Amino acid sequence: MALYSEKVMDHFKNPRNVGVIEDADGVGEVGNAKCGDIMKMYIKVKDGVLTDVKFETFGCGSAIASSSMATEMIKGKPLSEALSLTNKAVAEALDGLPAYKMHCSVLAEQAVQAAILDYYQKNNIPYDPAQFKCTHCAHDEEADE
Amino acid sequence: MFVYADNAATTKLSSKACAAYIKTAEETFGNPSSLHSAGQRAKEVLEDCRMRIARILGADAREILFTSGGSESDNQAILSAARAGAKKGKRKIVSTAIEHHAVLHTLEKLKKEGFEIVLLPVGTEGIVRAEDAAREIDENTALVSVMFANNEIGTLQPVEEIGALCKAKGVPFHTDAVQAVGHVPVDVRKIGCDYLALSAHKFHGPKGVGALFIKRGAPLSSLIEGGAQERGKRAGTEDLPAIVAMTVALEEAVAEMGPVTKRLQSLQTELIDGLAKIPHCALNGDRTRRLPGNVSFCFEGIEGESLLLLLDEMGVCASSGSACTSGSLDPSHVLLAIGRVHDVAHGSLRLTLGRETTKEEVLYMIKCVPAVVERLRNMSPVWRDLQEGKRSYIL
Ligand SMILES: Cc1ncc(COP(=O)(O)O)c(C=O)c1O
Ligand SMILES: [Zn+2]
């Protein structure tokens, strides 16, 4: 049995939307090198819609595939919809992840939120803090438990 | 191209050992504990194997116990010495920070039972110092356990020196020689050990079989209760085909050791030199005092699991000490012990060559690894920060 689904391997080997957006409207970075996964998300926003999304990831196969899938799921979508993206949805879209790898997909969800939060704050757009479940590393949270 | 470069994890069964396995399974199927001729024939074969393995290790046949492999041998050696020590009020065990989990987890279990466990540090070269051991060994020490060769970075430990030290102080000494036996000369009297663990699948024998050397007179208690096999110290009908195959594999490995070592060392040098050209990387463990087939590197700015997956796509089977390959949050304890910080330890790669590794395969790896490292660095925010000077290079 392979460790990962075909879809995970496809997104890992051919990641979509890799790179940077030099004039990004929002940038979010989550995770840290200590725990082994770091995700950085760049977004362009126009009229409340994500017109472009790019990512860079330092991490395992599942972290890279989750970032890639997350960018595909939110690109072209309104911010409100992108904000409701969950790591479960990302994992499901990838045809599942091994249980011990779920924490890597949490980072994808958080990177999207962090980028949108950065956009709101840079542009002084009022927002509901309750919408942002997390702005820090998922691994830290686990370690705190 | 398919390249198997994970010989420290396990090796391919040798065809001679495989043939011996099948022949024994078909022809010598009797139970060595049975009284009849079929059983007695099996018993003869079993005792012949014991003698042959003992001869290779420089031991006496009565000092060899057959087990299910390295983990069981390590467990039994440590627990036997610990139980015997505790009876005399000795509750301290001295070991190292780079032992295999078969040793470390057994020690953790003993710690919960009230033993004092001291893990000797290693320097950046990945080798413990006998002086450090000497300082820790005292009248309360029930056991010293130091591995012969490390499984991740391949470094050879000063077991003879530590063995002599233990002998002088009258403290039992165990060495986990799982990575060494069949690859470098191992002689129990030279080491002066009381216990030595070995495992067949690391030297082209079958998986699930190994042995424990116990010096005559050293305490031995059983882990598995039942019949009187192995002088009552290891119950269960012996896996004779596996034991025969292990014996054949070991004899073969020892007979070929000279030329194989020479060839491996030259391939190892070529591979290390080839990979060292990658910017911001470092070899893990001492350059020369290491097993002939071990090549272990850390690459800055990338993570090990993705490295392995991409190498696997190119046909290269390798291993890594990153957290994400183990399912834990921490990278390898061995890499941390040699002073690699978390960030860098996550980007580790272990390539372990074996006697079937060819020069073409090494050249192929020298081509694949830099390409994969570069590909991953190009999508790494850490690498970008390093390149843009927002973060400083560690390697
Ligand atoms: C140093 C060392 N000790 C112990 C073991 C455990 O051996 P086995 O797999 O035979 O239980 C291994 C192999 O993984 C090892 O490399
Ligand atoms: Zn991960």
**For B356-382, what is each residue's pLDDT tens digit?**
999 999 999 999 999 999 999 999 999
Assess whether the C-beta atom of B215 lies below 6 angstroms from ligand 1.
Answer: no
Q: Quick one: pLDDT at residue A101?
A: 86
Asked if A37 and B303 come within 8 Å (Cβ–Cβ), the reply is yes
pLDDT at A1 over 80: no
Residue of B nearest to A54 (CA): B379
d(CA B324, CA B280): 21
Q: Does B314 touch chain A (CB under 8 A)?
A: no
Q: Nearest ligand to the C-alpha of residue B334?
A: 1
Share above pLDDT 70 across residues of chain A, in percent, rounded to a whole number: 90
User: What mean pLDDT value characterizes chain B?
Assistant: 97
Do the beta carbons of residue B281 and residue B343 sit within 8 Å?
A: no
The residue-averaged pLDDT of B98-113 equals: 98
| Atom 5 (ligand 1) nearest CA | B70
**Ligand 1, atom 14: nearest CA belongs to which residue?**
B9
Domain segments of chain A: what residues?
Answer: 6-144
Choose between B224 and A130: higher pLDDT: B224
List, for residues B298-326, the tens digit of each pLDDT value. 999 999 999 999 999 999 999 998 767 66
pLDDT tens by residue, B196-240: 999 999 999 999 999 999 999 999 999 999 999 999 999 999 999
Nearest ligand, CA of residue B303? 2
The two tokens of residue B276 are 């060292």
Q: Which residues of B167-187 are buried (b: 16+ CB within 10 A; e: fewer)?
A: eeeebbbbbbbbbbbbbeebe
Q: Is the pLDDT of residue B56 over 90?
A: yes
Segment A38-87, tens digit of pLDDT: 999 999 999 999 999 999 999 999 999 999 999 999 999 999 999 999 99
How far off is chain A from B267, nearest CA to CA, in Å? 29
pLDDT bin (cut points 50, 70, 90) of residue A132 is confident
pLDDT in the model for residue A140: 43
For residue A40, what are the contacts with CB-CB under 8 A and spacing of at least 6?
A27, A28, A29, A55, A56, A57, A111, B381
Where does the pLDDT of residue A130 fall: very low under 50, low under 70, confident under 90, or very high at 90 and above? confident
pLDDT of residue A32: 79
What domains, with CATH codes, occur in chain B? 15-254 (3.40.640.10), 257-387 (3.90.1150.10)
CB of B69 within 6 A of ligand 1: the answer is yes
Query: How far is the CA of B329 from the CAs of A37, B28, B346, in angstroms?
Result: 10, 48, 10
3-state SS, residue B49: helix
**Burial (Cβ within 10 Å: 0-12, 13-18, ≥19) of residue B12:** middle
How far CA B390 is from CA of B23, B124, B275, B303, B381, in Å, comes to: 64, 27, 26, 19, 11
Task: Give me the active site residues of A, please.
Answer: 35, 104
In this predicted structure, what is the pLDDT of residue A138?
Answer: 41
For A6-144, CATH gives 3.90.1010.10
What's the complex ipTM?
0.91
DSSP B240-304: HHHHHHHHHHHHHHHHTHHHHHHHHHHHHHHHHHHHHTSSSEEE-S-SSSB-TTEEEEEETTS-H
